[in-house]
Chains A and B, each alone.
Chain A
């Protein structure tokens, strides 16, 4: 699993995108559903759209399917401008959010519907439909009508119907929302399997971020008709570009403060060589910017580091987490590297040390975002880069983990998640305890908006 060749066509300049949105705007009357959206989606991607209700996910899908035309801008699929191509002339199938099953046809005929519109032979159709029925575990219901099956079964019929024609591009609008957890996980893996076998490109809308994280090659977080961030699931989780994304994906603690350059012995010398080093890399353009080029960073980490060793400058954005990092409780060390940012946020607490903070952010009002599972809590003051004192207000027991709601001095609430390694009765932290919340200097990120 770990050593598969990396699938990152979006980082490959020679790769041609399958779908291109170019400055697409969609208005319904005065209402702007999609706002000047430009986005590439590549072949064989599993592209997940995430966002609050009404942010324009379905509208984006409907434009891809050909049911809405953009008010302005162009959408092209495989290089062809799609604006005047009707839905039945597109090699695209869509699974509708409302399922849109044909009520007068049996489940079997619903699934066969698309195949019957082609010149496929009768027995080939039969074989394909049976394959789909088996895949979605609907064999028993083949002869029933849609109103005679349950909601989850209907959803599976809709899925089977859209899969039957094995389209080049499959649009799934909340395909698994009505399924129970077990069946949903099975179907997710089934989808990934189908995608691997057929090379179909998937665009999927989901409200379930766990699902997006599991299946997607990239996740797009949308808000009010715009895409706020597009990145791989781990990058979007570990390095959100805004508090909106950080808050939308998973749980997060947000602390507002003012950035200050960290007092370090030799800050100037530390930063100079790094900016000089950058132009040496042919992939990195040399326009000045607050953060190093992502591609350069990636090249360094994946290709150059075994040869020339780890970068010695502080990492400015978090790298994707290793498997060990994801499972282990954060290790707290006092071994704080030089540089970075200290965030002044309260007069009752020390500044938060963020050694991966960008020094160019000095003096700005920033928000520090840290995931609950990156926090450690203890009764005694630990030896950590950051340790904040507070009182346990509430403990939510979630089985494998517990979430501690800690009120820091001054009123800031913090959520910390700890694995329940011990039995409930054996744990020593309870309500009203005074505790120390600690985290490393690289556990969180500083966000400008």
Chain B
């Protein structure tokens, strides 16, 4: 009985915080837009008895999903989000791996400090940090002032409100999510493995590619998903740092919801996004499990 209770806790958690909201959003996505509060129909009226419930279900349809396919804005936004998430993930990996590697190689007494420095940005609100980037990247911002001062440029660079600013923002924000899992796999790695590889005739470089990289594979995969998954639906960074040409599904969702007040279409967009994300989430879970098996 206690065992059952223990297992039930996470499932109840999942039910309350994931499944119920999902079903609500799903229901809205199948409704029609209406000038009302809330702005959709039909509404489930349980006082009306069985007839009310059946007529409610009859009123639901997939119109909104069909609408998403009719307007190419949506699939372009999905595609563009996908591209931005992918490029950001690769950039974060290229920057994060060397950082994680040097952290893992640092003297053991330094490692907690370095780890702290990686986590430190989380102590400030994410929004404030994104606003800070606006201050840095704008035409009169710190970066341009600095570059003008060094004489490298004579005209201020336009970075803010471009895709470049979006990439900078995303990579900056999600870098710790890349560094931490990679660091944790690298730190666990036994140095004598590299010695053994060298002993068997590897150079330092080939030992890195043949031993270190494969052994940090689970960390790399975990880091990539942890960056890719939230970036795909990212809304704040593209709307604050991006320009009008920055097309991301998170932004579209926001506009449908708040500007157009079209809750059903916004919900449909969200459902599709979720379905797209299920694949990488499952792959991520697989990876985690594999790593646990390797260690067990």
Contacts and interface: CB of A to CB of B under 8 A. Distances in A.
B190 interface: yes
Interface of B: 190, 192-193, 195-203, 206, 211, 214-215, 217, 294, 296
A104 interface: yes
Contacts of B193: 100, 102-103
Interface string A152-166: 000000000110010
Nearest to B214: A104
Nearest 6 pairs of A and B residues by beta carbon? A114-B200, A117-B201, A100-B196, A100-B192, A87-B198, A104-B214
A88 B195 contact: no
Interface of B is mostly: helix
Contacts of A117: 200-202, 206
Contacts of A440: none
A87 B203 contact: no
B199 A98 contact: no
Interface of A: 65-67, 86-88, 92-94, 96, 98, 100-104, 113-114, 117-118, 145, 147, 161-162, 165
B294 A94 contact: no
28 contacts: A65-B199, A66-B198, A66-B199, A86-B198, A87-B199, A88-B199, A88-B200, A88-B201, A93-B199, A94-B196, A94-B199, A96-B192, A96-B195, A96-B196, A100-B192, A100-B193, A100-B196, A102-B197, A103-B193, A104-B214, A104-B215, A114-B199, A114-B200, A117-B200, A117-B202, A161-B196, A161-B200, A165-B200
B188 to A, nearest CB: 10
Given A103-B215, A103-B294, A98 B192 contact: yes
Contacts of A165: 200-201
Contacts of A98: 190, 192
B1 to A, nearest CB: 35
Interface of A is mostly: loop
A75 to B, nearest CB: 16
A394 B200 CA distance: 53
Given A65-B195, A86-B198, A114-B199, 7 more contacts: A93-B199, A96-B196, A98-B190, A100-B195, A104-B217, A117-B206, A147-B296
B162 to A, nearest CB: 41
Contacts of A162: 199
B198 A147 contact: no
A96 B199 CA distance: 10
Contacts of B211: 102
Nearest to B192: A100
A162 B215 CA distance: 21
Point out which of B206, B217, B294, B296 has the most chain A C-beta atoms below 10 A from its C-beta. B294
B268 to A, nearest CB: 43
Contacts of B203: 88
Contacts of B214: 104
A88 B196 contact: no
Contacts of B192: 96, 98, 100
B174 to A, nearest CB: 27
A147 B197 CA distance: 18
Nearest to A161: B200
Contact of A102 (B196, B198, B201, B217): B196
B285 to A, nearest CB: 20
B78 to A, nearest CB: 35
B201 A67 contact: no
A147 B196 CA distance: 17
A96 B296 CA distance: 22
A147 B294 contact: yes
Nearest to A145: B294
A102 B211 CA distance: 7
Contacts of B197: 102, 113
Nearest to B206: A117
A440 B92 CA distance: 81
